[in-house]
Each structure stands twice: as structure tokens, then as C-alpha cells.
Amino acid sequence: MATYINEPSHTFNEYLLIPGYSSCECIPANVSLKTPLVKFKKGEEPAIELAIPMVSAIMQAVSGERLAVELARNGGVSFIYGSQTPEDEAAMVARVKAKKAGFVFSDSNLAPVNTLADILALKAKTGHSTVAITEDGTPNGKLVGIVSSRDYRVSRMDRSEKIADFMTPLEKLVTARFGITLSEANDIIWDNKINSLPVLYEDGRLYGFVFRKDYDSHRENPDEMLDAEKRFVVGAGINSRDYEQRVPLLVNAGADVLCIDSSEGFSEWQKMTIQWIREKYGDSVKVGAGNVVDREGFLFLAEAGADFVKVGIGGGSICITRETKGIGRGQATSLIEVCQARDEYYERTGVYVPVCSDGGIVYDHHITLALAMGADFVMLGRYFARFDESPTQKRTVGGTVVKEYWGEGSNRARNWARYDLGGDKKLQFEEGVDSYVPYAGPLKENVAKTCSKVRATMCNCGALTIAELQKKAKLTLVSATSIVEGGAHDVIRKEKESDNG
Ligand code: RVP
């Protein structure tokens, strides 16, 4: 006989948090949203910690390179979408890593024999105005000078003029030796009132630059997610089909963390994928797995060696899996059960496997609910698709400014690997829709507002960290009538309600 779970499964909107005692210390400025991204042993630190508990969904309409940079700058991490060729995905990862804050490898290089015309062409291509002039024109050649926009006047000079005749030569440049720290480099920049500082190896070859504007950017973005070389942290989606080809390319491109992207993760395919990664790379390559919705699914992936486990089937805003296949579970119920299993697993093994709540976040307070229920971080698709930095075009539809947002299981994305169950019939039916979401402006402002709401609620619950919230939170199921009461009611609203509140 089949197993029946007679309790209905619930979603976030059916829960509320009951405030707890908050002391005078409990103010938003004292709240830390730091949270582990990958598993760690008791008493040790996770190899990667997020500054805010938000990652962007592994989707074509969400996680491109622009969003990845902006989210990392603001404390979260993007997972670049895997429904593209392994080469294209690796190139996207590489472009995010090339945008590092702090030390920058020079991507604009010419030789002294090149001309002003070459400078102008290069500037048009890269958009960068500082060009390193090396003996052989390569990024790590011997530095002989620099050309910035201050070195030439297009209206007064012949385009065939040789760079050697107008560059600022090495003797006149302030330079630093390779091995210098970022803060020492910044001091030199400030003391000498310069915009860029070339960093040279002992033999005079160019290592890279430190730019003044990157220092300013770091001060404005204290939550920046940076790796040991001060490059932005970025994740990448993989699948359980072409991992032998895809993973090495992503690792070489510098991906910090991978995630097996599947609508249903309680499968031998995922175990094989993780095993292959462990055999080839040991623990040096971090890989999350999912999605699951119960304790068995979690334990299976944790024991298979996943670095984090993703929870959620059918709750995504563009997802019609429940409708088409009749599988899934209310997101809150799934999360509560999985997080309980995670805590027991930690007790038993001393290994903490972070849980990611994926999909179905409609209001900002759903993030706080997910964290209170035990999630370490949340993955969002619709939320990020609305911002300037998502890869899709802005449009006006019926007088409203919108952005496009489509599911990975829609005919538009045709991410068959995400839904594949073996065999050669690829994506026989759709599990996602193509849609619009209201345009919401820049990521930075929106994420700051969302996080301020999360911090405020945490204070109401007397919690200064996510771990504390998970221990202290008191949650209550609410009746259908109470849900109606939760919004403005029995008044005539003057303004239109914001879509994300
Ligand atoms: P949401 O944030 O509610 O838009 O949900 C995003 C999540 O939905 C993704 O992270 C993924 O798990 C899921 N998804 C993506 N495509 C589809 C689909 O086509 N059904 N579902």
C-alpha cells in the first residue's frame, strides 16, 4: 500500500513569526546576515560564507555575468546558468572572474611600435582608458610605459603617431613590486594622487594593476564576496549528463562553487556526479545538489557528499511541475523536514550541510521565514529577474515596464538536462512557462531594502545572527482568514501596492 502523509503540506504564506524578547543590543545595525554556503566540520569554518543569505537561480533569464558581478558586489552569489554549451558557460564564469576588485590583470595591452589609431580601436573594444605598454604588447610583458586619456589629444594628433612618442614612460610612473598587499597599494595610490598603480614582477614584467576606482567601490560595498585573489565569487550550474566535460572547463575558468541543477535530485545520477567530482578533485571542488523535499532525499545527497542541499519542487513562480507531473510538496513543510534532518545529521556526524530553500519566495518576509525554518540561504529567480542586471530586455507591456522571465523547463529554455530521466527522449513536455515580471530597477537598492526587512524582523525575534534566529524563532500556522487580514483591508488604498512587499 502507498504511504499517506495526512498532514497537508504548507507554504511560506501560511506562516508567521511570533516576536520574541529583544534587548537594547538587538538593533538592525548589529545583525549579521553571514551564513555558510558549503559544508563544514564542527569547530571549523566553512570554506565559503555568504555575506547575505541570497543566491540567484541557475536560469537563463536570471544568472548571467552582469547579475553575477553585481550580486557578488552586494554579498550574495550567482550560479551561472548551465543550459548553454560548457564552453559558453565557462567563458561567462571567466568574464566574472576577470572583473576582480583589487588587483586587475591588464586586458588592454599594446607595444611601443603601435599607434594612436591602435589605442583608439582598443579603447572602443574594451571600454578601458588605461593601456599598458609592454615591450612585446602582451599582458605580462616587460612594462615600458602607460597610455591613459591624458596622454593624447585626438583632435591635435596624427593617428599614425607611435605610442613610444606620447606614452608616459616607465621612469615617470609610480609602480609597486609584486607581493604588495592591497591596502599598501591603496596607500601608494592616495599618497601619489594617481589613478592606477602598475604592479611589476622583480624582472620588470607586468603582473597587473590596482585602480583607485576599485578601492572606492570596495568602500561602498563592504559585503563584497571576493576570493583569495580579490576576484568576485561566482557559482555555476552543472548537470548529471555532461559533467566530465563541463566541470573541468568551469573549474579552469575559476568557478568557486558548482551546483547540480535538477528538478528532482533524489537520484543515482546525482550521486554518480558527486562521486566523479570527488574522485577527480577531492574536496577542493565544492558542489551542491538537489532538489529534494524530504529527509530521505536530504540524507541521500548529504551521504553522497554534497556541499549543500537545495530544497524545493514545484514552488517556483514559473514552474508547472506540480500541474504537469503531480509531484512536489509545499515549500515550508519540505524545508522544515529537511532542516530537521540536517540538524540530526550534524549531531550524528559533526558535519553541517547547509540547506538552500529554492523557489517560491514571493514577499521579502518569506526569506526571513525560510531562514527561521532552518534554511541557511535562499535561491531566487523571479526576484532577480526584475532587476536591471538580469540578462533580459526591458519592455513595456500594457503601459507597465516589465522584464521577461522564463522557466528552464519551458520550450524557450529547453533545459532538457534539468528534467532528464535517462533515455533519448528529451523534454517531451513543458514544466515551465514563459512570462513577464514587473521591472524593479537596480539590484543594489532592492537587495538593500530586502535585507533591511530581514534584519528588522530578526531583531523583533531577538536574533542577531541567522543561527540564533533558527534556534529562537517561534512560528505559527495561520488560518485563511488571518492571511487576508495580513494585507491592508477594509480601506480604500491611495497607492497601488508594490509587487514585492
Ligand atoms: P522563483 O524564485 O519562485 O521564480 O523560482 C526559481 C526556481 O524555480 C529556480 O531556482 C528553479 O528551482 C525553479 N525552476 C526553474 N525553471 C523552472 C521550470 O521551468 N519549471 N523551475
pLDDT tens profile 54-73: 999 999 999 999 999 999 99
Q: How far is the CA of 433 from the centre of ligand 1 (A)?
A: 10
Atom of ligand 1 nearest to the CA of 321: 20
* pLDDT beyond 60 at 500: no
For 160-179, what is the mean pLDDT?
94
Instruction: Tell me if 59 CB under 6 Å of ligand 1.
Output: yes
Instruction: Tell me if 260 CB under 6 Å of ligand 1.
Output: no
pLDDT at residue 496, as a whole number: 60
Distance between CA atoms of residues 308 and 61, nearest Å:
23
Q: How far is the CA of 298 from the centre of ligand 1 (A)?
A: 19
Instruction: For a ligand 1 pocket test, name from 78, 239, 318 the mutation site with the most ligand atoms within 8 angstroms of its C-beta.
Output: 318
List the residue whose alpha carbon is closest to atom 8 of ligand 1: 316
**Interior angle at CA 346, CA 345 and CA 350, nearest 5:** 120
pLDDT at residue 422, as a whole number: 72
pLDDT at residue 127, as a whole number: 80
Note if 26 is an active site residue.
no
Mean pLDDT, the chain, integer: 93
Residue 381 makes CB contacts below 8 A (sequence gap 6+) with: 56, 57, 59, 61, 62, 316, 317, 318, 359, 405
Strand partners, 210: 103, 197
Q: Say which of 231, 246, 259, 319 is annotated catalytic.
A: 319
| Residue predicted with more confidence, 371 or 207 | 371
For 276-290, what is the mean pLDDT?
98
Instruction: For a ligand 1 pocket test, name from 358, 382, 403 the mutation site with the most ligand atoms within 8 angstroms of its C-beta.
Output: 358
Helix runs in 193-286, H state only: 212-220, 243-253, 268-281
Distance between CA atoms of residues 258 and 393, nearest Å:
27
Q: Are 440 and 499 in contact (CB under 8 A)?
A: yes
Local structure of 15: helix, strand or coil: strand
For 85-110, what is the mean pLDDT?
86
Note the pLDDT tens digit of each residue in 258-273: 999 999 999 999 999 9
Question: CA 41 from chain center: how many Å?
Answer: 24
Instruction: Tell me if 360 CB under 6 Å of ligand 1.
Output: yes
Instruction: For a ligand 1 pocket test, name from 408, 411, 429, 500 the mutation site with the most ligand atoms within 8 angstroms of its C-beta.
Output: 408
The number of beta carbons lying within 10 Å of the beta carbon of residue 218 is 17
Distance between CA atoms of residues 286 and 199, nearest Å:
31
Atom of ligand 1 nearest to the CA of 58: 10
The number of beta carbons lying within 10 Å of the beta carbon of residue 412 is 16
Distance between CA atoms of residues 242 and 20, nearest Å:
49
Instruction: Tell me if 431 CB under 6 Å of ligand 1.
Output: yes
Confidence band for 230, pLDDT divided at 50, 70 and 90: confident
* pLDDT beyond 70 at 425: no
Q: Are 57 and 358 in contact (CB under 8 A)?
A: yes
Note the pLDDT tens digit of each residue in 312-348: 999 999 999 999 999 999 999 999 999 999 999 999 9
Q: How far is the CA of 130 from the centre of ligand 1 (A)?
A: 41
Q: Say which of 418, 455, 459, 461 is annotated catalytic.
A: 418
Distance between CA atoms of residues 106 and 50, nearest Å:
28
Q: Are 137 and 108 in contact (CB under 8 A)?
A: no
pLDDT at residue 493, as a whole number: 84
